[in-house]
Structure 1
Amino acid sequence: MNTTIISDNKTAMQTILSDFKQLTKVGLSLSVVFSSVAGYLLAAEVVNFFTLFLLALGGFFMVGASNAFNQIIEKDTDAIMKRTQNRPLPTGRMSVNTALTIAITFTILGIGILYSINPKSALFGAISIFLYTSVYTPLKSVTPLAVFVGAIPGAIPFMLGWVAATNNFGIEAGFLFMIQFFWQFPHFWAIGWLQYEEYKKAGFHMLPMNTKDKGAIKQILFYTVIMIFVSIAPVLKVSGDFYIYPATAVIVALFGVMMLYYGIRLYKSEQNIDARKLMLSSVLYITVVQIIYVVDKFLH
C-alpha cells in the first residue's frame, strides 16, 4: 500500500515538475541565458562571477515569466495546435491562477535580480517581458508584423549581457542587439513555414504576408543577408569597443553562408525538409557565432 502511495506521489511530482518546465519553457530560457552570458563576457574587463550568476538567474526568470504569460493568454489557441495541445493549461493539469502566480513571481524576481546588477538591465528586462506579453502575443492573430515586434524582446538578451557588464547602452550593445534581431527573421519564418498549417488553424499570422510561397522565402533570404553583414561589420571597427579579427569575420561569414545556402534550397524546393534544415542551421549559427565572438575577444 505504502509503495503505491510513494509511487503515486513520485509520478505526481514528476508531472508537476514537467508542467512547470513546459510553462516556463526551460530549454528556451537556458538558450537566452547563454546569449546574455556571452554578451557579458564580450563586455567585461574583469569577469565578476557573482554578477554573471545574477544575470543568468535574472534572465532565466525574465524569459520564464514571458513564456508563462504567453501560455496563459494563448490557452485556447494552444488547445487547437498539435504542437501545444499537451501543455499544462489547455489540458487542465494546471490552473490559470497557478500559472499566473508563477508568471508574476518570476517577473518580480527577474526584474529585481537584474535591478541589483544595475537599473538599465532591469529596464531592458521589463521592456522585454512587456513587449513579448502585451504586444507580440496579441498581435500574432492580427498581423504578420507580430514577428517584427517579437524580434525586439528576442534580441534583448545578447545586448543585456553587455549592459549588465558596463551599465551602458552604447553602439556595442546596439550591434549585439541588431545581430540577434535580424537573425530572428530567418529563424522564426523557417518555423512559421514548418508550422504554417497549424498556425493557420489557430489563426496566427507567422509568415510574411501570411503566405507560404516564394515571396516569403525572398524575405528570409533578404534578412539572412542583412544578418551576415551586421555580424561581420565589427571587423571594420565601426562598433566601438566591440570588434573582431578578419579571420573571425571570415568564419562568421561562412556560418552565415551556410544559412543562406539552406534558404536558397528552400527557395528552390519549397519543401518542409529544407525549412527544417534552415531552422536547425539558424540555431547552430547564433550559438556558434556568440562563442566565436567571445573567443575572439579573449585573443585580443
Structure 2
Amino acid sequence: MLRRVVVSIPAYRPSVALRSTRRFNVSTPTPAPTASACPFSGTPTTTDTPTRTCPIMGTPVLPKMACPIEEDTEADIAALRAMPFKTIVSQTGKVRLSGFVTATAVVGYVMAGGTSPLVAAAVTAGTMLQSMSANTANQIIEVEHDKNMKRTCKRPLPVGAITRTGAAALCTAEFVVGTGILAAVSPLAAALGALNWAIYVCMYTPLKRVSATNTWFGSIVGGIPPWMGGAAATGSLTCAAMHPASLLAAFMLVWQIPHFMALSFHCRRDYETAGYKMLAFANPWRASFYAIFLSVIMAAICLVGPYTISMPVEGLWYYPVSIVANTTMIYKSVRFHMDPVRNCRSCFVFSYMYLGVMLLAFTVNHFQPVGTATKVVNSLLAGKESEKEIASVTASS
C-alpha cells in the first residue's frame, strides 16, 4: 500500500521578501558563549540575537551592541572612577564645545560694536558657564543612554566618577554664576542665555529619543549666542547695530545642520543603540542632501548677507577667503552625500575648521584693517606734503 506523503511548504510572498531585504539582510545567528555584563550598563558583551547587516556599511549591526568598554581592565575602570575634579568639570561641561559656543557670542559682541574689555570678559565667562551647565544637565538626563554608547560611556557620570546629585549641584552652580555674570552687564543677554539653556535641556534633549526633528531644534541653540553677545553690546535686538550679530546668528543656525548630519552619521550605530532618533541612519541620503543644501545657504549668508544689511566689507581679502572656505565646505558636503561611509568624518572635522575661518574673517573684517592702514598711510603722506609746503613757504619768505 502506498502512503501519500504531504509536504507542507510555506507560501512564498515576494513582496514581503523584497521589502525585508531592502532594509537589511538577516544572517544565521551564531551561538554565543557565556557572556559577562558591562559593569556600568549591564549590557552583555555578546549576544545570540540575529545579526542585521547595515545597508550602508555592509557590516553586522547588533540590536544590542557589545559592551563598549569590555576590553578595559578593572584597573582602567578604577582609574576612570578616580578622575580629578577638574576633569569631571571639563568633561561634564564639554569645555571644547562650550568654547566654540562662547566664541560665537564674543564675535557677536564685537560685530555689534562692543568695545569694552570688561563686558567682553563678562560675556565670555557667563556664556561659557551657562553652556557648561546645559551640557552637564544633558548628561544627567542621558546618563543611562550614555552607558551604551562608545563615545560617551567613559564620561564621569556613566563610570560613576560623580553622582547625579553631585552633577546637579555642579550644573546649578554653573548656571547661577554664569547667569549672574551676564546679568551684571546685560539683563537681556542673561535672559537669552537662560532661554537657550531651557531650549537645549527641556526641548532638544528629550526630543532626541522621540523624533529626528531634534536636530532642527538643536540648531536654534547654536543661533542664540551671537544674539547674546550683540545684546550685551547694544542692549537691544532690533537696533541697526544688531544687524551684523543677527547675520552671524543666522550663519550659526544654518551651520549646525551640515555639522551634525555628518557627526550623527559617523556615530549612527552608537545613536541607534542608545535609542536616539537621527535622520542620518533613518535616511542617510536625505541627511547628506541637507548638508549640501544648507552649505549653499551658508555661502549665500557669507557672500550676500553683508550686502543686504549694508555691513562694510573689505572685499580685497574677505571675499576670496569666504569663497575658498565656502566652496570647500560645499565640496566636503557633496563628497559626504556621494559616499557617506568614507567622507562623513572628513565633513564633520572640516566643519569646525570652516567655522573657525569664518569667525576669524567676520571679526577681522569688523576692524577694517586694510581701510585703517590706508588711512594711516594717507595721513602720513599728507603730513609730509604739509611739511614740504611749510618748508617751501619759509624758504621763499
TM-score (norm 2): 0.68
Q: Is the 8 A contact 2:92 2:139 kept in 1?
A: yes
Give the match for residue 332 of structure 2. 262
| Separation (CA, whole Å) in 1 of partners of 2:82 and 2:119 | 32
Give distance in 2, aligned partners of 1:143 and 1:256.
30
Alignment partner, residue 254 of structure 2: 182
Matches within 5 A, 1:108-123: 108-123=176-191
- Does the 8 Å contact 1:234/1:244 carry over to 2? no
CA contact (8 A) 1:235 1:243 kept: yes
Q: Deviations over 1:236-292 (max 9, x none)?
A: 1x225x442334134213211101101111222222x31111111110111111111
Match of 2:269 among 191, 194, 197: 197
Alignment match, 1:135? 203
Gaps of 5+ in 2: 1-79, 372-397
Aligned to 1:43: 112
**12 and 87 in structure 1: CA distance in 2 versus 1, 3 angstrom threshold:** closer
Give the superposition deviation at 1:107: 1.1
Runs of 4+ with >4 A deviation? 11-14
TM-score, length-scaled by structure 1:
0.90
After superposition, residues 1-300 of structure 1 pair within 5 angstroms as 15-44=84-113, 47-170=115-238, 171-207=243-279, 210-236=281-307, 238-239=308-309, 242-247=311-316, 248-271=318-341, 273-299=342-368
What is the deviation of 1:12?
8.9
SS of alignment partner, residue 84 of structure 2 = helix
Which residue type is aligned with residue 110 of structure 1?
A: G
> CA separation in 1, counterparts of 2:185 and 2:323?
34
The C-alpha deviation readout for 1:99-131, integer Å capped at 9, x for no partner, is 000111111111111111111101110111000
- Structure-2 separation of matches of 1:132 and 1:189: 18
Structure 1 contact 235–245 (Cα < 8 Å) conserved: no
- In structure 1, the residue matched to 2:20 is none
Instruction: Look up the equivalent residue of 1:204 and give its one-letter code.
Output: Y
Show the counterpart of 1:4.
Answer: none
The aligned residue for residue 74 of structure 2 is none
Question: What amino acid sits opposite 1:229 in the alignment?
Answer: A
**Aligned mates of 1:234, 1:214 — CA distance in 2:** 29
Task: Provide the C-alpha distance between the structure 1 equivalents of 2:247 and 2:107, rounded to a whole number of angstroms.
Answer: 14
Specify the alignment match of 1:5 in structure 2: none
Give a deviation string over 1:9-39, Cα, whole Å, max 9, x none.
Answer: xx99852221121111111112222221211
Task: Return the structure number with greater relative CO, CA threshold 8 A, min gap 6.
Answer: 1
Q: 1: distance between equivalents of 2:81 and 2:159?
A: 15
1:235 CA drift (Å) = 3.4
Higher helix fraction (1 or 2): 1
Q: How many residues align?
A: 285
Separation (CA, whole Å) in 1 of partners of 2:330 and 2:155: 34
Query: Equivalents in 1 of 2:127, 2:357: separation in Å?
Result: 20
Superposed CA offset, 1:176-229 (max 9, x none)? 211000011000111011001110001112326x52532221111111111111
Q: Are the equivalent residues in 1 in contact too, given 2:105–2:225 (CA < 8 A)?
A: yes
Query: Measured at CA, do residues 176 and 202 of structure 1 come closer, stay the same or move farther in structure 2, by a change above 3 Å?
Result: same
Equivalent AA in structure 2 for residue 202 of structure 1: A
Q: Rg: which structure is higher?
A: 2
Q: Deviations over 1:47-94 (max 9, x none)?
A: 211111111100111101100100000010000101000111111110
Cα-Cα RMSD: 1.8
Q: Is the 8 A contact 1:143 1:205 kept in 2?
A: yes
2: distance between equivalents of 1:186 and 1:213?
12
8 Å CA contact 2:81–2:160 kept in 1: the answer is no
Specify the code of the residue in structure 1 equivalent to 2:305: P
CA contact (8 A) 1:196 1:212 kept: no
CA distance in 1, matches of 2:119, 2:277: 39
CA distance in 2, matches of 1:235, 1:28: 27
> Residue type of the partner of 2:322?
V
CA 74–243 in structure 1, closer or farther in 2 if over 3 Å, else same: farther
User: Kindly, what percent of the aligned residue pairs are identical?
Assistant: 28
CA distance in 1, matches of 2:208, 2:81: 34
Secondary structure at the counterpart of residue 168 of structure 1: coil
Tell me, yes or no, if the aligned pair for 1:36 and 1:159 is still in contact at 8 Å.
yes
Residue 234 of structure 1 deviates from its aligned partner by 3.2
